[in-house]
Amino acid sequence: MGDRGRRLEFLIFGSPAIGEEEIAEVVATLRSGWLGTGPRVQRFEEDFRVYVGCGHAVALNSCTAGLHLALEVLGIGPGDEVITSPLTFSATANVIVHVGATPVFADVDPRTMNLDPEALARAVTPRTKAILPVHLAGRPCDMDALLQVARRHGVAVVEDAAHAVEARYRGRSVGSIGDLTAFSFYVTKNLVTGEGGMLTTDNAAWAEEIRIKALHGISRDAWKRYSAEGFQPYDTLFPGYKYNMTDLQAALGIHQLARLESNLAIRERHWRQYDAALADHPLLTTPSPVDPRDRHARHLYTVLVDTERAGMSRNEFMVRLKAENIGTGIHFTPLHLHSYYAKTLGFRRGQFPAAEFIGDRTVSLPLSAKLTDEDVEDVITAVRRVLEA
């Protein structure tokens, strides 16, 4: 802190914790001469598959690619509907549009901020082909209730686990519960490869199709074609995509995964700091406790600002924190209020009141394994000063 209690250096929101092991692995990858999809990607996939406890894991260049391919292998297209949460990043709904289907939103539970099973049940129609729940901030959805709705109507469940690598529901790892699950390894996530993602499933046929479609739809990837086994010609089986992960990204992922549990323990400690200092603040609502049978991935520490009593908007609160050298995030402005979805599908304010209430007030405070306890105390001090001003 500075002389007046203001932090001197700006605290970047979502700055990743990168260790020497990752740096050394990247250097070794560069020296190996194999920079594309190769042996390190294969190792990362297998390590991740074991960590999650699923049948198959396919490394990709993003969670968005994973969600897109998941809908493709399910055969979802024009005339179909996919139900998801409005309180999510735009990619969740964008991929539904990309396959020609229609995104349908169902409101969230105001306590968990995840898809409300009762709202989901009301949103199902004969055109519904999949449910796409989002494990927001790292809190696992009520998967038993969501799966019950899905199985009753014979539709697939594709999980958006961009925030939820370490999350567990009733003792099962997220990624081993639904039909397909997509993870993100973007630079702000708990497991970082810069850009990147993983798609998990227990269905071997889907996994093989996803693996082929992720690299142009060809029958053999470059590692197999040009490795010591000798050149092998390839065949184009699908009009695929350029969605593959590279060994440079996997070099980071291998060691990020190895430290995932220890990094979670650090974020757990920071989470407790925030709870102890802010849970009783009259102008804030802090995250509700997680079910003791589950595990929260502790990706985002989101607070709701009582904008009416505080006498400032959420955005003004964030601007004042920035003046205190504290970076923050918004997760999220509900998608039905974004221009494309409002104009194209006719959504309007008032349709999903719980998501709107949260979206108008939510602020994500810094939470990273890179933070020190002193960094977290700086955030707490700044939050209190801004609200008390």
Kindly list the catalytic residues.
189
Q: E-assigned strands of 45-165?
A: 56-60, 81-84, 102-105, 128-132, 156-160
In whole angstroms, give the CA distance from residue 64 to residue 243: 10
Give the alpha-carbon dihedral of 45, 297, 337, 109, to 10 degrees: 130
Per the CB < 8 A criterion, the answer to whether 178 and 157 are in contact is yes
Place of tokens 């199902």: 124
**Best CA proximity match to 213, nearest among 368, 71, 44, 353:** 71
Helix (H, G, I), strand (E, B) or coil at 48: helix
Quote helix, strand, coil % in the chain, to nearest 5: 40, 15, 40
In whole angstroms, give the CA distance from residue 140 to residue 137: 9
DSSP 353: H
User: Is residue 332 reached through a cis peptide bond, with omega within 30 degrees of 0 on the bond before it?
Assistant: yes
What is the pairing mode between strands 180-184 and 301-305?
unpaired
In whole angstroms, give the CA distance from residue 263 to residue 196: 19
